Amino acid sequence: MSETAVLTRSPGRSLPQAAYTDPDVFAADLEHVWATGWLFAGHTCELDRPGAYLTRDVARDRVIVVRGEDGALHAHHDVCAHRGSRLTGADRGCVRAFVCPYHQWVYGTDGRLRAARHMGPDFPVDDYRLAPVAVREIEGLVFVSLAQDPPDIAGFAAALGPQLAPHRLAGTRVEARLHYRVAANWKTLVENNRECYHCRGSHPEFTLSNFDLGVHGDVRSHPRYEAALAEARARWARRGLPGEEVSFPGGAWYRIARLPLRDGFVTESLDGRPVAPFLGGLTAEDAGSLRIVGLPDMWAHANCDYAVTTRLSPVDAGTTDVDVCFLVRAEAGELDVDALTAVWRATSEQDWELCENNYAGIASRGYRPGPLSPVVEASVEGFLSWYTAALERGRTPA
């Protein structure tokens, strides 16, 4: 069966075609990868008052994340306890209560059913509620888990918290949002993110400010990059900015790494200059670019003046939705949004074109799994090992 073909892949090569195109494998991905760990949902700053909510789709599942009256975050399946209707019609908003559009059952932000008309005098309102989903907020980023028994997130929180804290993302606003529908399997997008083999050929804006080195497992070295990294780490240490790299420890699902930018660039902009006021208490010399990766669905860069997050949402085997958000200091005045988004709009769109082109070939009769570079694609291999291990665990009874 096709799932077996995925698991019998040759290490050091891309996956068999079915892993990318077969609806059965896609269903296994949802079950064993997307519904077992933690997923990136959105940002604390979008949930800044009681009733503020956002939604997070994963194929047929939708999670509502909402700030409760008590200030705590709640997450629920977006499924009415009556006959199952969706409650939300919008990606985000602010409500006093969730009112089902079908027969108007009313739910509090805590998910409890408050009112259900025409259900008879003895209807036990307290017995019904929206099914809860695990949710965690870490330094301005919000994560949810579709697992019944979510894995411990403490290691990720401990690694991410101190490194992201200086950027104070909780005190930001989303200044720009880009949404894309990409005609490629979600793994094609993650593989693309896990190597910078393609950067020099495809990302002229990105490589202005970034070395195309520093991706986890990329064993190339360059004296100019090594010197920049050593100098930046010494500077970050002097300023009390943690700079320790934590990359997929023990095969875990996350990476946090602060990397230096090229000389003359304090942020990822076209001219090297800031495109927004500094975040938190940072200054131009401080920050480099903090890279955050969460498998299977997110990556983010936090710079001294803006942060950019990318969230993947699988739709079907050959379709992935992507949301890219740009965060700036909440009290920043009017900004040049074109300048703010220039590097990551261009880079994202270049990547989606590469991914669609890649997927078109993968889906064709001529595709065979191909060899990964031991020099620059070790992190692709790392991702594929993580993925196949997750499928394997899912097939093995606990």
Q: How many residues bind ligand FES (CB under 6 A)?
A: 9
Q: Which of residues 176-205 bind ligand FES (CB under 6 A)?
A: none
Minimum distance, C-beta of residue 123 to ligand FES, in the bound complex (Å): 12
Binds 351, which of Fe ion, ligand FES, none (CB < 5 to 8 A, cut-off by type)? Fe ion
Minimum distance, C-beta of residue 132 to ligand FES, in the bound complex (Å): 17
Q: How many residues bind Fe ion (CB under 5 A)?
A: 1
Selected range binding Fe ion among 63-71, 210-218, 282-290, 348-356, rule: CB under 5 A? 348-356
Does 46 bind Fe ion (CB under 5 A)? Our answer is no
Minimum distance, C-beta of residue 83 to ligand FES, in the bound complex (Å): 4
The whole-angstrom separation of Cα 138 and Cα 164 is: 9
204: CB partners within 8 A, 6+ apart: 346
Binds 80, which of Fe ion, ligand FES, none (CB < 5 to 8 A, cut-off by type)? ligand FES
Q: Sketch the per residue contact string, 94 through 113, with ligand FES: x for CB under 6 A, - otherwise.
A: ------x-xx-x--------
Does 86 bind ligand FES (CB under 6 A)? Our answer is no
Q: Which of residues 324-343 bind ligand FES (CB under 6 A)?
A: none
Does 377 bind Fe ion (CB under 5 A)? Our answer is no
Does 88 bind ligand FES (CB under 6 A)? Our answer is no
* H, E, C per residue of the chain: CHHHHHHCCCCCECCCHHHHHCHHHHHHHHHHHHCCCCEEEEEHHHCCCCCEEEEEEECCEEEEEEECCCCCEEEEECCCCCCCCCCCCCCEEECCCEECCCCCCEECCCCEEEECCCCCCCCCHHHCECCECEEEEECCEEEEECCCCCCCCHHHHHHHHHHHHHHCHHHEEEEEEEEEEECCCHHHHHHHHCCCCCHHHHCCCHHHHCCCCCCCCCCCCCHHHHHHHHHHHHHHHHCCCCCCCEECHHHCCEEEEEECCCCCCCCCCCCCCCCCCCCCCCCCCCCCEEEEEECCCEEEEECCCCEEEEEEEEEECCEEEEEEEEEEECCCCCCCHHHHHHHHHHHHHHHHHHHHHHHHHHCCCCCCCCECCCCCCHHHHHHHHHHHHHHHHHHCCC
Binding ligand FES (rule: CB under 6 A), the pick from 2, 85, 88, 385 is 85
Minimum distance, C-beta of residue 312 to Fe ion, in the bound complex (Å): 14
Selected range binding Fe ion among 121-129, 221-229, 255-263, 343-351, rule: CB under 5 A? 343-351
Does 83 bind ligand FES (CB under 6 A)? Our answer is yes
Does 351 bind Fe ion (CB under 5 A)? Our answer is yes
Binds 246, which of Fe ion, ligand FES, none (CB < 5 to 8 A, cut-off by type)? none
CA 388 to chain centre: 20
Instruction: Considering the complex, state which of residue 71 and residue 124 has its C-beta at the smaller distance from ligand FES.
Output: 124
Binding ligand FES (rule: CB under 6 A), the pick from 7, 13, 35, 82 is 82
Does 139 bind Fe ion (CB under 5 A)? Our answer is no
Binds 93, which of Fe ion, ligand FES, none (CB < 5 to 8 A, cut-off by type)? none
Binding site for ligand FES (CB under 6 A): 80, 82-85, 100, 102-103, 105
Binding site for Fe ion (CB under 5 A): 351
